[in-house]
Every structure is written in structure tokens, then in C-alpha cells.
Amino acid sequence: MSAIDSPRAALRAPVASASLAVLFAVSFCHLLNDVMQSLLVAIYPMLKANYRLDFWQIGLLTMAFQITASLLQPFIGHYTDKRPVPYSTSMGMGSTFAGLILLAFTSSYLGLLMGAALVGVGSAIFHPESSRIARLSSGGRHGFAQSLFQLGGNFGTAIGPLAAAFVVVPHGQPSLAWFAAIALLAMAILWKVGEWASSATPKRKSGIAGAGLIHSRGRTAVALAVLALLTFSKNIYTASFSSFYTFYAIHEFGVSVQASQLMLFAFLAASAVGTILGGLYGDRFGPKVVIWFSIVGALPFSLALPYADLTWTVILSVIIGLILSSAFPAIVVFAQEIIPGRVGMISGIFFGAAFGIAGIAAGVLGLVADAKGVAYVYEICSFLPLLGLLTVFLPGTDRSECDNVKTA
């Protein structure tokens, strides 16, 4: 038996009892979670007008959410790798519930920041453990499970602008409280999912969680650094859309607020489709192939976007969302494969820390938008997919390409 087979076999032991119903349940709760999170971003134009905010203050709201989530996620993931806490996902929804209530009824900018931070705490608790449960219920199809889990989140993010356009904008900021009922629904579902995960989670033996690196520590560290940079570039570019695309559409093409939110929905919906395709093709061709295609493949379209008219802006944004989003399931699975047994920590890093960097970028891009105009944001961000060339430094995950393969 090889050194890499032993820990993987231990980790895949629960596959026989995996439940597709649980995978769909946790993915659906990811949808609900991200609907609630994306409401904040979707109502930025309304908040900007009601509170007379500058672009840097819009960016700071994004930072309050994303940095709060990112700082906690890796630590929560590291803890749950050693001691899984399946019911924590339900508890995390309680923080999201509180954040929505505060966002609905606050009358100050500080209240908006605190509400965004509470929603971020809920995200930090939800993602690492729910990602672990998704993998646990995968039946061995890790790419498919990761993409389906992320698909729920992407669809939730895409639905958010529609909910804002047809509910929050017509009925005002207090209508955010209506969506707090979604948090209660998610808490109930996740409690049942937690019951399944408690019985399905294998007892950890000493050394399993951290054993069996398939490459040397140095090569593994380089690979993680490259994967993190690729994720940062993708998420920074995505942050430019989630935070400023509606403003760009309104300013450049004179569309209405609702029309701009429908444009954002088109980008996010395409991202959702790209996510599931990335997982399916990652299982078939390997995650490294998908990473190459996804990030570098988006480059010609991102370079063309700042110079397109309204029709081509919509078309290009859909293509970019479709291609670029396919990378993330492959990146997460790739990282989980080269560090077996650290599913929660890896999920925390890539869902958390990476989004935190994107949050910081949103603040910086807000300053750029104030100084140079929102169109300039897309001119400088169009070069970000060039970082996809760093994929050349990624090692393989096949046995013939592994450093630490030994036979017993």
C-alpha cells in the first residue's frame, strides 16, 4: 500500500453511507445563505442614495462582511478538522439572522457596518463545516460535490439582485427583515443535516488528519501559494462586478437601477452554471486542466469588456462569469487532494481568506472609483486573469507525479 493511499482510504471510508439527499440539502442551504449575503451588495445603489455614501464607504461595507468572514473561517476549519461540529452550521445562521434584522432597521452607517459584520460571522461558521459535510456525502465524486455545493451559493448570489430589485427596492430597507425567515428555514434544515453528519463522521485516529502529503512540504507550500493567488485574482475580479457593476452600467449606459441589477443577475447566473461545469469536468479531466482553461481563458474577454457597448457588455460579462467561475471547484479540490485530511481548513482558507483579500480589494477599488471613475476599475481589473499563467507552477496529483510515494 502506498503512503498516499492509506490516509485517503481512511478519509473515504464513510463514502458507503454517503447521502445524495444530504448533499442537495447542504447545497440548498448554501443557496439560502448566499441569497441573504448578496442582498447587502444588491442594495448598494439604494444605500448610497439613502445614506449619501461615497464609493469608499460602499467598499468598506464589503470589507466589513468579507474580512469578518475571512479571518474566522480558516481557524474554524482547522478546529473542525480535528473535532467536527456538525450543528455549528445551524448556529451560524443565527448570526446571519441577527445581521439581517440589524440591516433592516438601523438608521446609521455604523449599524450597516455592524449588520454586515454579523452576516460575515455567519458565513465564517457556515462554510468550512458545510463544505466538509458536502465532501463527506459525495460518494467519492469530490469535484461534483464541491461544484454542487458552490452552485447553491452561486445561485443564491445570483438571486440576491432579483430579490433586491423586486422586493427591497419597492418596499424599502425594512423589507430586509422578511428575508430573516430564510435564516430560520436554513437553521431547521441544517439541524437535520447535522444529525446525519454526526452519525456519518468517522472517528479520527491519531495522525490521520495531517498525514500523507503527496508532495514535499516545500512543493506543497508553493502549490498552495499559487492556488491562493489564482483565487485572489478571480475573487478580486468578481468583487469588481459584485460591488460596482451596477454603478458601471448606470453610469456608462444610462440604464435604470432595476436593469443594472438584471445585468448583475446575468453575470452571477452564468457564474453559477460555470461552477457546476467546472466540477464535472474537473472529475473527468483533472482539476489542473480546468484551472488552466478557466482563468487564462477569461483573459481575452476581460480585456475587451471596458471597450464594449451595452449589448456586448452583457454578452462578455456572461462569458467571463461562465469561464472564470469554473476554476473555483477545481482549485478547492486540488488543494484538498495535496493536503489530505484538512478539508475544513482548506475550505476555510479558500472560502474565507481569499474572499477577505477580495474584500480589501473592494475597498481599494472603491477609492479608485472615486478618484478615477468606475470605468477605470474595469480597465485595470481586465489584466487580472494574466495571473492564471502561474498555473504552470502547480504540481500534479497523479501517483506518477507525486514526491512522497512509498511502497510498504
User: What does the angle CA 304 – CA 308 – CA 311 come to, to the nearest 5 degrees?
Assistant: 125
What number of residues does the chain have?
Answer: 408
The pLDDT, as a whole number, for residue 404 is 54
| CATH annotation of 5-401 | 1.20.1250.20
On the CB side of 161, how many CA atoms lie within 13 Å of its CA?
24
Q: Which three cell numbers stand for residue 253?
A: 449606459
C-alpha dihedral (208, 225, 128, 33), degrees to nearest 10: -160
30, 155 Cβ separation under 8 angstroms: no
Residues 331-388 pLDDT 10s = 888 887 788 767 767 777 776 666 666 667 777 888 888 889 889 989 998 998 888 8
Using 50, 70 and 90 to split pLDDT, how confident is the model at 185?
very high
Average pLDDT, the chain: 80
111, 59 Cβ separation under 8 angstroms: no
Given its phi and psi angles, is residue 254 left (phi above 0), alpha (psi -120 to 50 degrees) or beta? left
Residues 249-293 pLDDT 10s = 998 999 988 888 889 889 988 888 888 888 777 778 888 888 888
- pTM of the predicted protein model: 0.67
Residue spans per domain, the chain: 5-401
Using 50, 70 and 90 to split pLDDT, how confident is the model at 83?
confident
- Residue 395 and residue 8: Cα distance in Å, rounded? 18
